[in-house]
A and B are shown apart, each in its own frame.
Chain A
Amino acid sequence: RKEVEQDPGPFNVPEGATVAFNCTYSNSASQSFFWYRQDCRKEPKLLMSVYSSGNEDGRFTAQLNRASQYISLLIRDSKLSDSATYLCAVVTSGTYKYIFGTGTRLKVLA
């Protein structure tokens, strides 16, 4: 089983739609969680950290479910510019290895 798994998609949604992605992790000792956005063949850019209590940044909401070992990203009112690949990153306590999922492709359609 992979350490971090994501549905590769693509998720094709119309503008204005709400879309959610999940990312599951296998190591219960995972301590830190992040969402990144990557545009085609460019470097990943940090979207947001994921906190135990959940957090929101504008149209983006991130949640952590430790019991079921997954994190989620919700995007409301999707824009064309949200089209990208969304990567989750998980850091395991003690190793400080940032393990990335393979990413979920989102296409927002006009």
Chain B
Amino acid sequence: EAGVTQSPTHLIKTRGQQATLRCSPISGHTSVYWYQQALGLGLQFLLWYDEGEERNRGNFPPRFSGRQFPNYSSELNVNALELEDSALYLCASSYGTGNEKLFFGSGTQLSVL
């Protein structure tokens, strides 16, 4: 069974540009979570999508947005990139009941120059 897949693995952008990160959940999972992990820091909750809807978001500015498609894959968009957006962006999926384990993809390393 395929795990959570994320693309691209690495992304290099310059300040002010937009970045799009993609995630495909494990088959059967309806929930997708996005986390930001800056170097040396913990996982910061960004967004949660379930059944195509945004269900919750963390303390991030509106320039962090995303969506979930009918096949449950998801996209994270970061507009007007800033240097401090450089981080590992992790996507995780689950069955969406809150009692289920999260399974993570290997992440997208975003570097903003």
- By a beta-carbon cutoff of 8 Å, the part of chain A in contact with chain B is 31-32, 34, 41-46, 49, 87, 89, 91, 93, 95-103
Residue-by-residue, is B12-38 near A (CB-CB < 8 Å gives 1, otherwise 0)?
000000000000000000010101000
Task: Give the complex CA separation of A99 and B48 in angstroms.
Answer: 12
Query: Is A98 in contact with B55, judged by CB distance below 8 angstroms?
Result: no
- By a beta-carbon cutoff of 8 Å, the part of chain B in contact with chain A is 31, 33, 35, 41-43, 45, 48, 50, 55-56, 58, 88, 90, 92, 96-99, 101-107, 109
Query: Is B88 in contact with A41, judged by CB distance below 8 angstroms?
Result: yes
On whether A93 and B98 interact (CB within 8 A), knowing A43-B90, A44-B104, A45-B104, the answer reads: yes
Task: Give the complex CA separation of A97 and B107 in angstroms.
Answer: 19
Task: Give the complex CA separation of A101 and B44 in angstroms.
Answer: 9
Residue from B43, B58, B96 in contact with A44 in the complex, judged by beta carbons closer than 8 Å:
B43
25 contacts between A and B (CB under 8 A): A31-B98, A31-B99, A32-B98, A34-B102, A41-B88, A41-B109, A42-B106, A42-B107, A43-B90, A43-B104, A46-B101, A46-B102, A87-B43, A89-B102, A91-B98, A96-B48, A96-B55, A96-B56, A96-B96, A96-B98, A97-B48, A98-B45, A99-B45, A100-B43, A101-B42
On whether A97 and B101 interact (CB within 8 A), knowing A42-B106, A43-B106, A43-B107, the answer reads: no
Contacts of A99 on B, CB cut-off 8 Å?
45
Query: Is B102 in contact with A103, judged by CB distance below 8 angstroms?
Result: no
Smallest beta-carbon distance B29→chain A, Å: 13
Smallest beta-carbon distance B83→chain A, Å: 19
Contacts of B88 on A, CB cut-off 8 Å?
41
